[in-house]
Structure 1
Amino acid sequence: MATRHPHRGAPHTWHSLIEWRALLEMAMLPMAWPLLATAQPGDGHPVLLLPGFMADEGTLVALKLFLRGRGYDVQTWGLGRNIGFQRRHAEALEKKIRYLHHKTGRKVSLVGWSLGGVFSMYGALQASECVRQVITLGSPISVDPEGSRSPPLVKALYRMIAHPMGPEVHVMQPRAKRLREHQLPPVPISALYSISDGVVPPQEATVDGPDTQVENIRVAGSHTGLGFNAMVMCVVADRLALPEGQWRPFQPAGLPGMAYKLLTHDALPV
């Protein structure tokens, strides 16, 4: 079984204070590009990218360019800024997934960053027959009944932007019942998380489930830099390159695998 990270409580205060290190991750990305260019090419199936809270498609540009370079039919959600788990966005996402599946004749892989990963899980639950796999990047997909343990500033921002009563109200929507009950979509799920994430604690960014379908993959980096993180991109490319119907848990290999083990201090993705 894949199991959630044993961390308890909020992210470490120090990790939250140094979220600015995302700027360094962005600056280092061009140096890692030659290594990223060696990633396994894809099979051209559609990949739908979903941004995090208060982000839009512009934040996904690096991931989009990289995956297009690997040969995927990459799309972004096209719904503008992500301002919380809104009903209209949830409904539009399901329609977009079904449209891409109908248009291409192929199942769609969903890659969601932060809150975008929650949308990805929802979309895969609503249209599972159209979804190939789900990959989440530091997403709060396993919030316990007592509520999110994200930093108070993050919660305050959500209340100010999305709903005055906070994210718990959106999670309590009838349409989100299966998310609230931690039901998993019947598709492979790769939950990428960082123990130094200053926004979403690792126990919320990981998930319990059978290891024939679910995996939690530790990466190194900040929360706000996950979409520009070379390690994340390598792992995402590895997961997307798996032939449909032949999913297997992540096993780091080669030069990128050596770097992965060195930087995460753990060869096992749990």
Structure 2
Amino acid sequence: MENTQVLYRIFTRLVTALGVLNGLSLKKAKDLAAKQFKGHLYEDDIRVIIDNIDIDEHEDIEELFDETILICDELGASRDYVALVKVIENVSSAISEGHDPEEYKYTNALVDRFKKDIHIINKKIPLPPLFNMVMESRSLIEWSSIYALYPFIPKRIKGNGRPVLLVPPYLGDDFSTSFVRKYLKSLGFTTYKWQLGFNMVKSHYIPRLEEKLADIYEQHQEKVSIVGWSGGGIFAKIMANRHPDQIEQIITIGSPVWGVMDMKTPVYGVLEFFRGKSLKERNERFLAELEPIPQIPVTCIYTKTDGLIPWKHCMEAATLRKDIKNIEVFGSHSGMGANVSVLLVTANMLMANIQGKKIRDVGSNIERYLYPNFWKKARRVFNARRALAQVTKH
């Protein structure tokens, strides 16, 4: 929370002031605001922040609004802002419930302005840097080296026959997911191909995927996990939104899971097809189904050196619920199907979510060296120790 603490400090003051503006006492406004963060990733920290609010600021609500939007803009686009939108919408609804909507014109207008401003901020995600695009050539090394590395990948997890459906990337077929399937199968999962040829990310695949999901569900008499790479993750999320009763969880690998209609990517410029219309123009309604967040566990694997998809589009709102995870790995977009870290995260999260555990409880200590998050923490510890040593020295 350290990077966004300033945002939550000003945002909680904004929603508290909104409550006071509409007739609540400061205490009741704080209680209402705190209630909306139940289940939030930083729930405990935010409650402390709200408890420390001791001033009625409803007369300064416009200044609080502007400062909140300014901080969001300075922090940059983020899927996590959906949690803020949800909170301010819920506060507004709780205040106005059972009353004449005309009495709450200002409050409703403020919420609408907030949503629009956040949408504008989230449209500012740029194309992947040119360096990342050039470095996509790494995928040749990743796909070549996996043959040598595969025998050494740990195989401790027991899948116990759990069903997993794998969906290939845009322009890929079942060969694209062969190593992920092979690894999961070696752990005891029952894996299923999508068997629909090359994935062109068209909406007409959905009925056949729904039939396949229903068949697997009926055969196993238990919920199915879906793993989708890149464009395959689009289908995984749409299926999860449509059939949460049949799906255990979804894991997306370098997949754009939100904001696709505004996404900037070289893929669209190079690979337009079918009567000259782009993917977005042909599938507007289909892609709109990506925006809702499934009410099941979601894991998004992404790489900040992705050369094809802006990595921020590959992360779900992890602050919204504790069963939503974003896990960064090293590698290229095109090589994620042959990336050792991806294979490990996929297997570990499948089991962690099934067992209701954290990923560290199913993975090994040695695996942590494969993930950027480990090195970021190690760097922070090193810098802290170096600073302490310098202070002690003087």
- Same structural fold, with TM-score higher than 0.5 when normalized by the shorter chain: yes
Which runs of structure 2 are paired with 1:89-238 in the superposition (5 Å)? 89-143=205-259, 147-151=262-266, 154-160=267-273, 162=274, 164-173=276-285, 175-179=286-290, 182-209=291-318, 210-238=320-348
Contact 1:239 1:250 in 2 (8 A): no
- Distance across 2 between alignment mates of 1:132 and 1:267: 31
Contact 1:52 1:113 in 2 (8 A): yes
Higher relative contact order by CA 8 Å / sep ≥ 6: 1 or 2? 1
- Distance across 1 between alignment mates of 2:259 and 2:179: 28
User: Can you list the C-alpha shifts for 1:149-192, whole angstroms capped at 9, x where unaligned?
Assistant: 112xx1134422x563312224422x54432xx20111100000
- Distance across 2 between alignment mates of 1:233 and 1:58: 15
- Distance across 1 between alignment mates of 2:173 and 2:226: 16
Deviates more, 1:115-124 or 1:6-15: 6-15
Amino acid at match of 1:140: P
User: Can you list the C-alpha shifts for 1:44-89, whole angstroms capped at 9, x where unaligned?
Assistant: 11100001111101111111111110111000111111112x2320
Higher-helix-fraction structure = 2
Contact 2:129 2:307 in 1 (8 A): yes
CA separation of 1:89 and 1:267: change in aligned 2, threshold 3 A? farther
Partner residue of 1:67 out of 184, 199, 222: 184
| Number of matched pairs | 259
Give the CA deviation at 1:253: 4.2
Contact 1:43 1:241 in 2 (8 A): no
Give the CA deviation at 1:41: 2.4
2:193 corresponding residue in structure 1:
76
In structure 2, the gaps of 5 or more residues are: 1-39, 42-77, 81-121, 379-394
Residue identity over aligned pairs, in percent, reads: 25
Contact 1:39 1:70 in 2 (8 A): yes
Q: Report runs of 4+ in structure 1 exceeding 2 Å deviation.
A: 1-8, 30-35, 162-165, 175-178, 242-245, 247-253, 258-262, 264-268
CA separation of 1:200 and 1:163: change in aligned 2, threshold 3 A? farther
- Distance across 2 between alignment mates of 1:163 and 1:141: 26
Secondary structure of 2:125's match?
A: coil
Secondary structure of 2:170's match?
A: coil
Give the CA deviation at 1:27: 2.1
- Distance across 2 between alignment mates of 1:48 and 1:170: 26
Give the CA deviation at 1:244: 2.8
Give the CA deviation at 1:127: 1.2
- Distance across 2 between alignment mates of 1:176 and 1:190: 19
CA separation of 1:224 and 1:163: change in aligned 2, threshold 3 A? farther
User: Does 2:135 align with 1:18?
Assistant: yes
- Distance across 2 between alignment mates of 1:219 and 1:137: 10
Give 1 or 2 for the bigger CA radius of gyration.
2
Give the CA deviation at 1:247: 5.2
- Distance across 2 between alignment mates of 1:139 and 1:121: 10
User: Does 2:204 align with 1:88?
Assistant: yes
Secondary structure of 2:155's match?
A: coil
2:61 corresponding residue in structure 1:
none
